[in-house]
Chain A
Amino acid sequence: MSITLQDAISLITLEADMLDHGDFHDWLKLYTPEGRYVVPIDPDVEDFEKVLNYAYDDAEMREKRVVRLLSGRSISAAPPARTVRLLSRYRMLESSDTHCTLRCAQMLQELRQGRVHDYAANLNYRLEMTEDGLKIALKVVRLLISTEALTAVSYIL
């Protein structure tokens, strides 16, 4: 049976909840070992390895990112920004019993140092069915303002 939209939504909203609540160690477990977390700059690019991105994280970099956020040794993340994000407009693009790809919208608001920032993004996911259930093999965060000047983002989008 193909992976259902409901199963996919459960996983990625769980991820969103973990990121907003700082459950970063649990967040790491949502990904496959080869999984990638990518925040590209160029809106059209697909081959992320060949170009400069904001983030192009394999498992090792994701773990380092989490250590950095929780270490208290980064002044931009101590205290970390607080975030609230909403996911919606889900669409399953392709689904089989082993994997699926889906797309949705994310609206995120960040508060840090008394300043609020809003980030709208299209999220693209590739999810894979593993022995341990459904996992994220690829998450691509396509920020609406990716080609404009951002401000420091010391959290996970």
Chain B
Amino acid sequence: MQGLPDPKSLLDDDRADGSIYSNPDLYDMEMDRIFMHNWIWVAHRSDLPAPGDFITTFVGSHPVIVSRDRKGVVHVMLNRCRHRAATVCELKHGKTASFVCPYHGWAYGLDGALRGVPHQEGYTGQLDKSKLPLISLKVEEYNGLIFASFDKDIMSLDEWLGRAKPWIDLFMKQGAGWPVKTMGEHKFTFPGNWKIQLENTTDAYHFPIVHKSFLDSVDAETQNTFDFVEGAGFVEDLGHGHSVMVMIPELVDLDEGLDAPIPERFAELAAELAKDYPDEQVRKIVRAVGGSGFNLNLFPNLACSMAFFRVLRPLSVTETEIRHIAIGMDGGPDIANEARLRLHEHFQGPMGFGTPDDAEAWDRVQRGSLAGKDISILLNRGLGHEARREDGNLFSDVSAETGMRAAYRQWLIAMSEEAGA
């Protein structure tokens, strides 16, 4: 097709052209080829635990309803009435037996089937309700993570997540034996391209620089835990654009190391928990409260990031919405979940001690990238000592840009496929 940018010409093994953050034509291609042809994360199981529960969200730029029908099956449907396109639901979440369009009253079931049309005689037999359900996307779930795709021919979610699956399982150990549940979210936007955020989740290099003021606000023991840039951690390419960045190797498997001393900052919590739980379980809960020691970046829109879900949504080529979803133990002790909420508030969100500084850095990347023309952004950190594990995964040190290179390789694969093929 004429006039479309050529993604191949913008990306090298170790760099990308700065225009990838601001080219509107490239953005339109991304919204089609990436956000309509990959698995996009839409919800966590706990967002709609019971039949009749629903949430509204987006797949790329498309508003959708995620609902659980009477049999417990999850549906992801375009939030668009089949009559004249009004959104049928504007609640962020709720419980219902049906979705009734407010314009002319067409009524849809939890599975999207068109059930009722007021004054149907006016169609004199020319309206076949069975042909006009809400438009469904493909839906699959892995360990509580629910994904959807417009592409009916897409590979299974199982295959897509592939080598990232064991890391998802490790991340979910933050339930400390209980199921993981979401506990609210911080939502904010920044004036920059979504890929700047995608990169950041696999960027350990920035942490001691950008997060100085956060590190100032925690005790010496915690500062030490977060002093990982020259540590034993690593970044590993998990295929399909996914990667894991292990910052704190001791906190990869939360079921292990239970005899390690309890950090000072959790001493009070541990003492309180000891009134109701045996020592071993107290240790397990406290370790879970502290969160995992890694960021799992799942291409393109979800990260299981230390102790929360990070979800990104492109709003335009130069604006991105980020959600930091707090998670906790479903059925676990209130004081432990409250401790997690306080930790989340401390770092995350528009008023946290960490996120605003991240957002400022991303904002600067966007503005700086507009200076000059044909100038690369570098993605070569850690390339010199990148190696392969026995299973084939590329890996390098914790501050390497291996995860970004993995994401951009997948970006190019997705962008090079024929649209709508």
Contacts and interface: CB of A to CB of B under 8 A. Distances in A.
Interface of A: 39, 41-42, 49-56, 61, 64-65, 67-68, 71, 73-77, 113, 115, 147-154, 157
B95 interface: no
B273 to A, nearest CB: 17
B334 interface: yes
Given A42-B184, A54-B351, 8 more contacts: A39-B351, A41-B186, A55-B345, A65-B353, A75-B360, A152-B190, A152-B355, A152-B360
Contacts of B361: 75
Contact of B342 (A42, A54, A56, A151): A56
A112 B360 CA distance: 11
Interface in B155-195: 183-191
Interface centre among A150, A154, A157 (most CB of B within 10 A): A154
Given A54-B349, A154-B356, A68 B213 contact: yes
A152 B352 CA distance: 9
A73 B212 contact: yes
A91 to B, nearest CB: 26
Contact of A50 (B189, B217, B334): B334
Given A71-B216, A75-B357, A52 B350 contact: no
A113 B363 contact: yes
Contact of A149 (B213, B216, B321, B357): B321
Interface string B257-284: 0000000000000000000000000000
Given A49-B338, A64-B217, A67-B217, A75 B210 contact: yes
A151 B350 contact: yes
15 contacts: A41-B184, A49-B338, A52-B185, A61-B346, A64-B353, A68-B216, A71-B216, A74-B357, A75-B210, A75-B361, A76-B356, A76-B359, A149-B321, A152-B355, A153-B356
Nearest to A41: B184
Nearest to B346: A61
A151 B28 CA distance: 24
Contact of B216 (A39, A73, A148, A157): A73
A55 B351 contact: yes
B210 A67 contact: no
A54 B187 contact: no
Contact of B345 (A56, A68, A76, A151): A56
A157 B350 CA distance: 12
B101 interface: no
B341 interface: yes
Contacts of A152: 188, 190, 350, 355-356, 359-360
B350 A54 contact: yes
B63 to A, nearest CB: 15
B363 A153 contact: no
B189 A149 contact: yes
Contact of A151 (B190, B212, B326, B357): B190
B344 interface: yes
A149 B314 CA distance: 13
Nearest to A155: B351
Contacts of A76: 356-357, 359-360
Interface string B204-216: 0000001011001
A39 B345 CA distance: 11
A75 B356 CA distance: 8
Contact of B183 (A52, A61, A147, A154): A52
A75 B187 CA distance: 20
Interface string B334-377: 10001001101110011101011101110100000000000000
Contacts of A154: 356, 360
A124 B375 CA distance: 51
A75 B191 CA distance: 16
Contacts of B321: 149
A62 to B, nearest CB: 12
Contact of A74 (B191, B213, B345): B213
A54 B212 CA distance: 20
Contacts of B363: 113
A41 B361 CA distance: 25
Nearest to A141: B351
A153 B353 contact: no
Contacts of A150: 187-189, 350
The 5 closest A-B pairs by CB, nearest first: A52-B184, A152-B356, A74-B213, A76-B356, A76-B360
A154 B189 CA distance: 14
A50 B338 contact: yes
Contacts of A115: 191
A51 B344 CA distance: 11
Contact of A53 (B191, B212, B345): B345
B185 A71 contact: no
A74 B355 contact: no
Nearest to A65: B353
Contacts of A67: 216-217
B358 to A, nearest CB: 9
Contacts of A54: 186, 345, 349-351
Nearest to A58: B342
